[in-house]
Amino acid sequence: MCGFTAVFSTNQESLNKYPLETITAVITHRGPDDCGYYKSPGVQLGFRRLSIIDLPHGHQPMTYDNGRYTIVFNGEIYNAPELRDRMKKRGATFQTSSDTEVILASFKHEGKKSFTNFRGMFAFLIWDSRTETLTGARDPFGIKPLYMKKDGDAVLFASEKKSLTLFEKKPGINKDVLPAYLTFQYAPEPLTSTSNITKVPPGHIIELKRETGKLTLKPYSQPEFNPTIQEKASAVGKIRRAVEESVEFHLRSDVPVSTFLSGGIDSTAITALVKQMKPDVKAFTAEFADARYSEADTARKTAEVLGLDHHVVTITPEQVVKELPKIIWHMDEPVADPAAIPLYFVAKEAAEHSKVVLSGEGADELFAGYNIYKEPGSLRLFDFLPSGMKKQIHSLALKIPHGVKGRGFLQRGTTPLRERFTGNARIFDPAEVEEYLFETKGASAFDFTAPLYDHAKRKGWDPVTTMQYVDMHTWLRGDILAKADKMTMAHSLELRVPFLDKEVFQVASSLPVSGKVSRKQTKIWLREALADVVPAHVVERKKLGFPVPVRLWLKDELYDWARLILTQSPASDTIFDKGASVRLLEEHVQGKHDHSRKIWTILTYMLWHKQATQSRRTITDASDLKDII
C-alpha cells in the first residue's frame, strides 16, 4: 500500500539531523501517488502513498481526535468496515472511509488491545501529542516490514532499510549474521545484514516516551498451533469457508485487483475463487525460456479452463544479469532465493494493469505444503530403535561415500529433528560454514532455531507441526514475505496474501497431522476443500516450488559473470575464502556436484555487499538520490 519513515528523539537537534523529505523520497516507489509529512517536538513522520482505499481522503500522515493522534500506516485492514461500525457504537466519528482512520479510532477507544482485532497486513506508528508517546505495531505474520535504527538519543523507523542507511557513507556490515545467512540464505529476523539496524518482530508493539526516551518492545499476538482430533468433513468445510471469506475480504479495493498464477494449487485456488467473485480478473505468470524450468504451460491450461485474461512474462538470462543489481537494491538485504527473480519481472508486468495483486503465499506453512514435511513419516521406523543402535547406524552412514543411495536416509533417520531441520532452506550445512568464511564468530542457524524447538517441545507438538512452526518464524518471514513485499513494491504494486489471514490460521492451526501430510501427499484437507474450484490437473500436482534455471545458467550464460564476481568482489578474501568459492563454481561446471544454490547464495551476498559499502557522498537533499539508485 505505502511506505513511511519516522524519527523520534528527546531533543530537537537529533530530529533535525535527518532531513525527513529525503529519507522518505528514497522509497517513492512504495507510494508514487502522494506524499506527506508531520513534524512536532519529539517526532517527525514521513509518508509515501499508493492509493487503494478512499482515494480522495486517505492522505497521510493522518490526524484524529482534534490533532491528538497522528499515524503513518503501511498495509490494509480488511475488516475495517466492520470495525468502523463497532467504533461508532463506542461513540467514534469518522471523516473518511479509509482503514487508516479506523486504526486511529480503535486506538483511541480501545488502546493497544485493539490491535488484535485487525484482520490484515500492517505496520504503523501512532504519535500521541498529549502524552508525547510513539506507539507502533507490526502484523502477527510479518507481512509488512518495519525497520528500526538507534542513533544516540534518536530512534529511526522505515518501511525499507535503505531510508536508514541513506546518510551513512559506509554502513556497518553485520558479520555476526553471516554463518546463519549461509544456511538460511537470508539474515534471520530481527537481525539484518547491517549492524545497527534491526526489524521490529512480527506481532509486537513498540513504544517510545519522549519524557524518558525509554523504548519498550512487547508481543501482543503470536500465532500458535493447536492440533486437535477433528471429523474430516467438518474440518474441510471450515477450511473452505475460511479461505473463501478471506479472499472476499482481500478483494476490498477501490482500484483494479489481479492475481499471480503459477502451476501450484495455492495461487490457482486464489485465482479460481477471485474469478468467481470478479469475472474480469487478470492473472499473471512468469516463465523462463528453458521449458524445463517453467510452470507456464500448467498455468496456461488453468487459464483456459477458468476462462482467464492471462498474461505471461518470459525471462532471459540477459535480463536477469541486467536487472539483478536493481533487484538486490530493492530487496534491501541479501536474500538469495532465486524465486525473487521471476517475482520481480511478473510484478513489473502486473503493475501495468493494476495496483493490487493476490497471491498464494503462506499456504505451505499453514497447511503443511512443503515436501520436506513428509520426512517425519518416512523416518518413523527409526523412532522404534534404541538410542545406542541409532548412534551406530549414524556412524556407519557417515562412512558411506557421498552419492551412494541410502546414505542420506540413514543419516537423517538417526539425526534428531532439531539438528537436521533449520527451516525450508538449508543451503550450507552449519558444519560447512567455516570452510567459506574467514570469521565464524556469529550465531549459527541452530542458535536461531533452538528457542523455537524448545517452545514446540513445551507444547508437545508432533514433528510436522514443529517444522511448520520453525518455518513460520524463519523461512516465511525472512524469505517468502520479504521478497513478496519488496519485489512487488519495487513496481508500486500491492501484494495481498489471503492464506495469511487470522481466521484462516485459526482453522489451519487446529488441523491434525492426518489432515495435513502423509508419506505421499501434502496439504491433504486443503486440497479436498478446494477440489471443486481448482482444475483437476492442479489438485494432485506435486509441489515444485518455483524452478529457476540457475543450475544451467552458471554452467553456461552466467559462468563468466559469476567467476568475475567471485574473484573480484570486495568481499572476496575479506569475508569469503576466494579459493573455496571459486572451487564451488568449477566443481559445478564440471558436473561433479550441483552447487548452484550455494554459489547463488555467495554471489547474492557479494552483490549486496558492493552496494552496501560503495563510497557515497553525504546525501543532503532528494536531488542527490540519483547517485545511489
Residue with cell string 526516551: 213
Average pLDDT for the chain: 92
DSSP 406-443: THHHHHHHTS-HHHH-SSS---S-TTTHHHHBS---S-
What band does 139 get if pLDDT is binned at 50, 70 and 90? Answer: very high
413 against 128, higher pLDDT: 128
Q: Which three cell numbers stand for residue 485?
A: 513485499
Flag whether pLDDT at 24 surpasses 90: yes
Predicted confidence (pLDDT) per residue in 321-355, tens digit: 999 999 999 999 999 999 999 999 999 999 999 99
Note the pLDDT of residue 412: 87
Look at the alpha carbons of 403, 407, 412, 415 in this order and tell me if their dihedral is positive or negative. Answer: negative
Residues present in the chain in total: 629
Note the pLDDT of residue 620: 42
Note the pLDDT of residue 71: 98
Flag whether pLDDT at 251 surpasses 80: yes
Beta-carbon count within 10 A of 152 CB: 11
Q: What is the mean pLDDT of residues 239-265?
A: 95
Note the pLDDT of residue 589: 95
Beta carbons within 8 Å of 457's beta carbon, 6+ residues apart = none
* Euclidean distance between CA atoms 298 and 286, whole angstroms: 12
Instruction: Please list the alpha-helical segments (H only) found in 193-316.
Output: 232-250, 265-277, 296-306
Q: What are 121's strand-pairing partners?
A: 76
Q: Minimum mean pLDDT among 98-107, 162-171, 427-436, 574-583: which range?
A: 162-171
Q: What is the mean pLDDT of residues 573-580?
A: 92
Sheet holding 43-49: strands in order across?
Answer: 34-40, 43-49, 2-9, 154-158, 147-151, 197-199
Q: What are 209's strand-pairing partners?
A: 133
What band does 544 get if pLDDT is binned at 50, 70 and 90? Answer: low
What band does 1 get if pLDDT is binned at 50, 70 and 90? Answer: low
Instruction: Please list the alpha-helical segments (H only) found in 2-70.
Output: 12-16, 20-25
Q: What is the mean pLDDT of residues 247-271?
A: 94
Residue with cell string 545484514: 193
Q: What is the mean pLDDT of residues 527-538?
A: 94
DSSP 354: -
Q: What is the mean pLDDT of residues 419-445?
A: 91
Report the share of the chain in percent with pLDDT over 90: 77
Predicted confidence (pLDDT) per residue in 589-610, tens digit: 999 899 999 999 999 999 999 9
Specify the pTM. Answer: 0.94
Residue 186 amino acid letter: Y
Beta carbons within 8 Å of 134's beta carbon, 6+ residues apart = 6, 8, 42, 43, 125, 126, 127, 128, 207, 208, 210
Flag whether pLDDT at 617 surpasses 70: no
Q: Which of 90-94, 242-246, 288-292, 402-406 has the highest mean pLDDT?
A: 242-246
Predicted confidence (pLDDT) per residue in 154-168, tens digit: 999 999 999 999 877
Q: What is the mean pLDDT of residues 252-257?
A: 90
Note the pLDDT of residue 624: 46
Flag whether pLDDT at 278 surpasses 60: yes
Note the pLDDT of residue 545: 60
Q: What is the mean pLDDT of residues 296-314?
A: 93
Predicted confidence (pLDDT) per residue in 173-231, tens digit: 999 999 999 999 999 999 999 999 999 999 999 999 998 889 999 999 999 999 998 89
Q: Minimum mean pLDDT among 145-149, 331-335, 602-606, 612-616: which range?
A: 612-616
* Euclidean distance between CA atoms 198 and 379, whole angstroms: 38
Active site (catalytic) residues: 2
Q: What are 193's strand-pairing partners?
A: none
Note the pLDDT of residue 379: 87
Flag whether pLDDT at 436 surpasses 60: yes
Q: Which three cell numbers stand for residue 493?
A: 504494486
Note the pLDDT of residue 487: 97
* Euclidean distance between CA atoms 256 and 622, whole angstroms: 31
